[in-house]
Structure 1
Amino acid sequence: MATIDISIAQTIEEKAIKANQAAKSLRLVTELEKNEALYALAEHLEKNIDFILKENRKDIEAAQKKYDAAYIDRLSLNENRVIDFANSLKEVAKLDDPVGETISNWTLENGLKVEKIRVPLGVIGMIYEARPNVTVDATGLALKSGNAIILKGGSSAIHSNKAIVSVMHSALSNTRVPKDAVQFIESTDRNATKALFKMKQHIDVLIPRGGGALIQQVVENATVPVLETGVGNCHLYIDREADTEKALNILINAKTDRPAVCNALETLIVHEKWLEKNATELIEVLNKHQIQVHGDEKAVRFIPGASLADETDWKNEYLSLEIAIKVVGHLDEACDHIETYGTKHSEAIVTENQETAKAFLSMIDAAALYHNASTRFTDGGALGFGAEIGISTQKLHARGPMGLKELTTCKYVMTGNGHIRA
């Protein structure tokens, strides 16, 4: 890594120290007080919609000169989107506070009482790209779980994020939650992000959320522990015994509902026998929704206008109305393809054969698996967690949508009566 500018590193460290101090103060804030702060955040966001949208337009105008439509969609806010993420804060406030929960307890033969108790992680460093809603979602989850947060959004959303954080700071000024618990790094210099990587003394965990390049950069260079969120190269396998209507509805929902999100479908794997029977219907829905197809040789023969896929297509997270299609002869071939190219995010099968479904769900290693359902459900809100801070594709501590409990750790508390160890 390149040498980090000393002044930038000092600024980041100052913010990290403030967040660390605020995290200590948060230990004494009650669940009621945290909830009151979340409702205050939601109220202030709703009252300041015009201001937030005005600042967001500055980001959109700049982005339109450099980015594609999918990226612009992730960056764009409107009144409904602001109301949605304000409402998500209210939903988080309604959730049970995990902090202080007794996970387990027992008494030793000598009478010493042991409790395993859920506690906050401490200070979370959030590094993300073009989604201003993450600024709100991450803050709400962090505060409800008793954590301070340092936000480092992408330069393309700088005006939007500054506006949102200024509104949140104003809201927190009249609550028991210290506004220093929400730190925002305004610098768009990449060295500011690199400085966060080395703040192990003050930051307990980093959570990167964005494209594969960003996530890999954090994982490879940070000395702070990382909760890795994953790129979503999601697959749908339509088995030979799939119901046609279910299969096509799930395909269209997973691919077109919001193509630019990580739980959107990127690769369709279809059994050759199903395709032979249902090619006309499949072609109709692909054309209706203007989905551009990159297929293997068999798919190209069946689907007019499809281009021949290469290795890049099987690996690609398109985040747009493009899809890769592979035709297979049996379940094992489908599973092998997913294991080779999948990112362990979300994978689905459509079939009426319960044994085939059971085999698929057993063989595939991913954070979220679906039988006869869309991958779009891999979302904290959709699964009842409230807002999520990201989708973890790791296997340690947290996996899948990360809600409140995933932002906590534990400590053991022992209670004795003069006990000493013999």
Structure 2
Amino acid sequence: MELLNSDKKNKVLQSMINIIDAKRSEIIAENKKDLDAFKRDDQALYDRLVVNEAKVDDMIQAIKEVKAQEDPVGKTISDRTLESGLNIQNKTAPFGTIMIIYESRPDVTIEAAVLAFKANNKILLKGGKEAYHSNVVLEKCWHEALAENDLDKTWIRLMHINREETQEFLRNPTEPLDLIVPRGGERLIQFVKEHAKCAVLISGRGNNFLYVSKTADWAKSISVILNAKTEKISGCNALDKVLIDKNIPNYEAKVKELASVLENANVEIIVDKDIKSVLSDKEEVAGKEVWHEEFLALKILLAEVDGLDQVIEMINEYSGGHSASIMTSNKAEAEKFMEQVDSAAVYHNASTRFTDGGQMGVGAELAISTDKLHHRGPLGLKQLVTNKYYVFGDGHVRV
């Protein structure tokens, strides 16, 4: 694959900024076609689909931020000369071709492409049918930006294939693929892992937990829970489960207060059998599958726990490995929680809503990875490269 210089890549990104700004009315009009065709039975998916003036501004800002970042390709990781005189350099290098499969979210067509391209990767974009018109017009913008700078449109391509054809492509790709990032439900992720012929980086579900310790500041806990649950229900970093230590002072009164606050915010509450004794009018959790569920709705599960060890065990068993938070004034307790909970992001006295590239200082993100290879958390520009060894000799042979 050709290595483009930074100036060339940045010129493409500047062209894209200008094109999107000039065509914002057309982009919003095409998005309206998708919105009009969408059955609003899934509010979270609908929210992700919307493109308005503010969203176009966000797209432009994402491109500007990536354009301003240092090119991640060709950076020296190590450089050493052995006693034999052999010089060995390890440098960052592009993956090659990345494929991303995603639902709704036309902004991913911008963020995924800008990150992949700046890291000198080609990218195949497989968006959902619900965002068809939005994605097509954004692909046209990318192709215009590439053409303005004498580059082939194969750098950034929208895959115009249906679900069955996508599955067949994964089984038998008709072109080289180096990395696949699935952003969707469990069935999609499992299928990709099973059938992909290349590396797969998992962008997993949320199902995020928060633990209220017996030493927690209660007022701060309520504020954090409310923010994590209601600030954006469609976010994969939204809160789903709250575990309340039964040893907290004024336990029953505080549980009732939390329930009242959540109800005032129109949050549906379900409870475990222990909390049911305090909130008798609430529906009791039906089965284990609910503990594994990512709600993506104004819905929350409240449960009673007895100490940190139980909390760690529950989170590691049921959560999606995305984000988990502890509310406590005990630093040792927080440290144990953060070290032993197996999630991509762990929090002390803070909302899970901060698991986001922009909020974490990474900038635009391809996805939030819950995988351990090769990176966990926001996949920003620096995470879209691999490495390559350059070995320089002078007729060296191994003996």
TM-score by structure 2 length?
0.95
- Alignment of 1:301 with 2:277, yes or no, is yes
Aligned position for 2:378: 401
Alignment partner, residue 127 of structure 2: 153
* Residue in 2 that maps onto 1:165: 139
SS at match of 1:273: coil
Deviation larger for 47-56 or 411-420: 411-420
Q: Which amino acid aligns with 1:42?
A: I
SS at match of 1:146: coil
Aligned partners of 1:58, 1:366: CA distance in 2, in Å?
38
Q: % of aligned pairs identical?
A: 39
- In the alignment, structure 1 residue 276 sits paired with structure 2 residue 268: no
C-alpha change, 1:241 and 1:290, in structure 2 (3 Å) is same
Match of 2:196 among 198, 205, 222: 222
Query: In structure 2, what residue type is equivalent to 1:138?
Result: A
**Residues in 2 aligned to 1:304 and 1:50: alpha-carbon distance in whole angstroms:** 52
Deviations 1:99-156 (A, max 9, x none): 0000111110111111000000000011111111111110010001000001111111
**Distance (Å, rounded) in 1 between the aligned partners of 2:281 and 2:17:** 48
Q: Within the alignment, does 1:390 sit opposite 2:390 as a pair?
A: no
1:139 maps to: 113
Amino acid across the alignment from 1:344: G
DSSP 3-state at the match of 2:148: coil
Query: SS of the residue aligned with 1:186?
Result: coil
Q: Which residue, out of 29, 38, 51, partners 1:54?
A: 29
Question: 2:77 aligns to what SS in structure 1?
Answer: strand
Give secondary structure in 2 for the equivalent of 1:173. Answer: helix
CA contact (8 A) 1:100 1:117 kept: yes
2:235 aligned with 1:291, yes or no?
no
1:333 shift after superposition: 1.3
Displacement of 1:170 in angstroms is 1.2
Q: 1:305 offset after TM fit, Å?
A: 4.0
Return the letter of the residue paired with 2:166. Answer: A
Counterpart Cα distance in 2 of 1:214 and 1:41: 31
Structure 1 match to 2:335: 358
Q: Identify the residue that residue 8 of structure 2 maps to in structure 1.
A: 33
Structure 2 letter corresponding to 1:351: T
Aligned partner of 1:14 in structure 2 is none
Cα separation, partners in 2 of 1:106 and 1:279, compared to 1, 3 Å: same
Counterpart of 2:200 in 1: which secondary structure?
coil
Quick check: 1:37–1:176 contact (8 Å CA) kept in 2?
no
Q: Helix, strand or coil for the counterpart of 1:228?
A: coil
CA distance in 1, matches of 2:69, 2:144: 24
**2:224 matches 1:250:** yes
Counterpart AA for 2:117: L
Is 1:325 paired with 2:299? no
> Unaligned regions of 5+ residues in structure 1, if any?
1-23
User: How many residue pairs get matched?
Assistant: 396
Q: Is the contact between residue 207 and residue 293 of structure 2 (CA under 8 Å) also seen in structure 1?
A: yes
Seen in structure 2, the aligned counterparts of structure 1 residues 121 and 418 have a Cα distance that, compared at 3 Å, is: same
* Alignment check: 8 A CA contact 1:135 1:164 kept: yes
In 2, the alpha carbon distance for the partners of 1:200 and 1:337 equals 43
Amino acid at match of 1:373: A
User: Which residue, 25, 35, 57 being the options, matches 1:83?
Assistant: 57
How far the C-alpha of 1:417 sits from its partner, in A, is 3.1
Give CA deviations for 1:208-229 in whole Å, capped at 9, x if unaligned: 0122222122112222221111
Give the C-alpha shift of residue 304 in structure 1. 5.9
- Contact 1:128–1:209 under 8 Å retained in 2: yes
**Matching residue of 1:198:** 172
Q: Which moved more, 1:209-218 or 1:79-88?
A: 209-218
Q: 1:299 offset after TM fit, Å?
A: 1.8
- TM-score (ref. length: structure 1): 0.90
**Shift in Å at residue 178 of structure 1?**
3.1
Partner of 2:357: 380
Contact 2:259 2:269 in 1 (8 A): no
**Aligned amino acid, residue 307 of structure 1:** E
Q: Offset of 1:177 from its aligned partner?
A: 4.3
Counterpart for residue 370 of structure 1: 347
Query: Deviation of residue 281 (structure 1)?
Result: 2.9
In 1, Cα distance between the equivalents of 2:233 and 2:328? 24
- Letter matched to residue 212 of structure 1: E
